[in-house]
Amino acid sequence: MREIKPRTFGAWLLIGIALIYATVLFILPMIAIVQGAFANGIEPLLETLSEPSVIHAFQVTFVLSLGAVLINALLGLTTAWVLVRHRFRGRKLFDALVDIPFVFSPVIAGYAMIVLFGRDGWLAPPIFPIVFALPGILLAKTFVSLPFVTREVQPVLDSLTPEPEEAAYTIGASRWTTFRRVILPEIWTALLYGIVLTFARAVGEFGAVSVVGGNIEGYTETATSFVFRAMNDRNNVGAYGVSVLLGVFSVLILIIMNLLRRRMTQGVRDVDSA
């Protein structure tokens, strides 16, 4: 417990700066969006949100984001496992490269995908189209949210002591059983946390998705690209309405993240007291 001292001028100043910063950057914008959405009452808002193109945009967004989550959960977990458990040439470079989607501009990533998977690209698809189609959006969402699961799981996996695993082996558990019943429960919370972050990122993505998907209304248009189009069309109710829904989704994600984080520190405390 830290001692509570009377606040000095400097402390007040710091608190003030932090509060102003938070207010201007995300509290005011959220209030503005909610206010804008309900400016003409709830009727036009509900009307806009039940338009087929809006519903379709949300379907595309959430279904494909879930797809990205599934892919990144499995491959991200595999990547974390490989980085922690295996020593191979180039491992450190690979480890550093995992963060590329964080630093790469999504628009450039989307463009690179067009070059790669487009009609004349190296990996031009033989059967169904990828670029300007739903598979492209799935790819874009997967790419931009790729590092989360790996980066959440990796340190936890790295911190596991070998004894419980080795005990499981001597008891007779196969590698798979040991992973499922001994290791997975240990990394479960971190994995969930990574999945939630992945989902949030995939839902919110705009740049890569609009480049690869082409924002075709009723087909490749996602919730975020709908907001962009509505804005350009001066369809304020539509833009505000979809934004509010996405905002509510973000708040939900935030709550889940906090619950998970509490569970993670709980886990750490259990180890300490043992």
Partner 1 sequence: MSIQLERVNKSYGVQPVVRDFSLEIETGELFVLLGASGSGKSTLLRMIAGLTEVDSGRILLNDQDVTHLPPQKRGTGFVFQNYSLFRHMTVAQNIGFGLSIRRTRRQVHVQRVQELLELIGLPDYGDRYPSQLSGGQQQRVALARALAYQPSVLLLDEPFGALDVKIRVQLRQNLREIHKRLGLTAILVTHDQEEAFDIADRIGIIEQGELLEVGTPSELYRRPQNLFTATFLGSTNILRARRNGKSVYVGDVSIPAPPETDHLTGQPVEVLFRPEEVELSTVRPAAQTSVIGSGTVENIAFAGPILRLSVRLASGETIQALLTPGEFRERGIEPGQEVWVSLKDYHLLPTNTAAEKTPVAVTETN
Q: Pick the binder of partner 1 from 47, 51, 166, 217 (CB under 8 A).
A: 166
Alpha-carbon gap, residue 12 to 18, rounded angstroms = 10
> Which one of 12-20, 169-177, 208-216, 242-250 is the stretch in contact with partner 1 (CB under 8 A)?
169-177
Q: Is 163 in the site for partner 1 (CB under 8 A)?
A: yes
Q: Is 273 in the site for partner 1 (CB under 8 A)?
A: yes
> Which one of 78-86, 115-123, 170-178, 216-224 is the stretch in contact with partner 1 (CB under 8 A)?
170-178
**Residue 41 or 162: which CB sits closer to partner 1?**
162
Ramachandran region, residue 216 (left: φ > 0; alpha: ψ -120 to 50; beta: rest): beta
Q: What secondary structure does DSSP assign to 187-198, as a single string?
A: HHHHHHHHHHHH
Q: Pick the binder of partner 1 from 78, 159, 177, 265 (CB under 8 A).
A: 177
Of 228, 200, 246, 233, the closest CA to residue 49 belongs to: 246
Q: Is 169 in the site for partner 1 (CB under 8 A)?
A: yes
Instruction: Using only the alpha carbons of the chain, give its radius of gyration.
Output: 23
Of 125, 146, 147, the closest CA to residue 135 belongs to: 125
Q: Pick the binder of partner 1 from 170, 176, 232, 234 (CB under 8 A).
A: 170
Instruction: Report yes or no: 201 and 121 within 8 Å, Cβ to Cβ.
Output: no
Q: Is 265 in the site for partner 1 (CB under 8 A)?
A: no
Instruction: Report yes or no: 109 and 101 within 8 Å, Cβ to Cβ.
Output: yes
**Residue 95 or 186: which CB sits closer to partner 1?**
186
Q: Is 271 in the site for partner 1 (CB under 8 A)?
A: yes
Min dist CB 185 to partner 1, Å, is 4
Q: What secondary structure does DSSP assign to 63-100, as a single string?
A: HHHHHHHHHHHHHHHHHHHHHHH---TTHHHHHHHTTH
**Residue 100 or 167: which CB sits closer to partner 1?**
167
Min dist CB 186 to partner 1, Å, is 7
Q: Is 87 in the site for partner 1 (CB under 8 A)?
A: no
**Residue 181 or 261: which CB sits closer to partner 1?**
181
Q: Pick the binder of partner 1 from 49, 173, 245, 259 (CB under 8 A).
A: 173
Q: Is 181 in the site for partner 1 (CB under 8 A)?
A: yes
> Which one of 42-50, 175-183, 222-230, 252-260 is the stretch in contact with partner 1 (CB under 8 A)?
175-183
Looking at the chain, list the stretches that DSSP marks H as alpha helix, in order from N- to C-terminal side: 9-22, 28-37, 42-49, 52-85, 91-97, 100-103, 106-117, 134-144, 147-159, 162-171, 175-178, 184-204, 207-213, 223-232, 236-273
Instruction: Report yes or no: 210 and 110 within 8 Å, Cβ to Cβ.
Output: yes
Q: Is 171 in the site for partner 1 (CB under 8 A)?
A: yes
Six token digits for residue 158: 């790295």
For binding to partner 1 (CB under 8 A), which residues are involved?
A: 161, 163-164, 166-174, 177, 181-182, 185-186, 270-271, 273-274
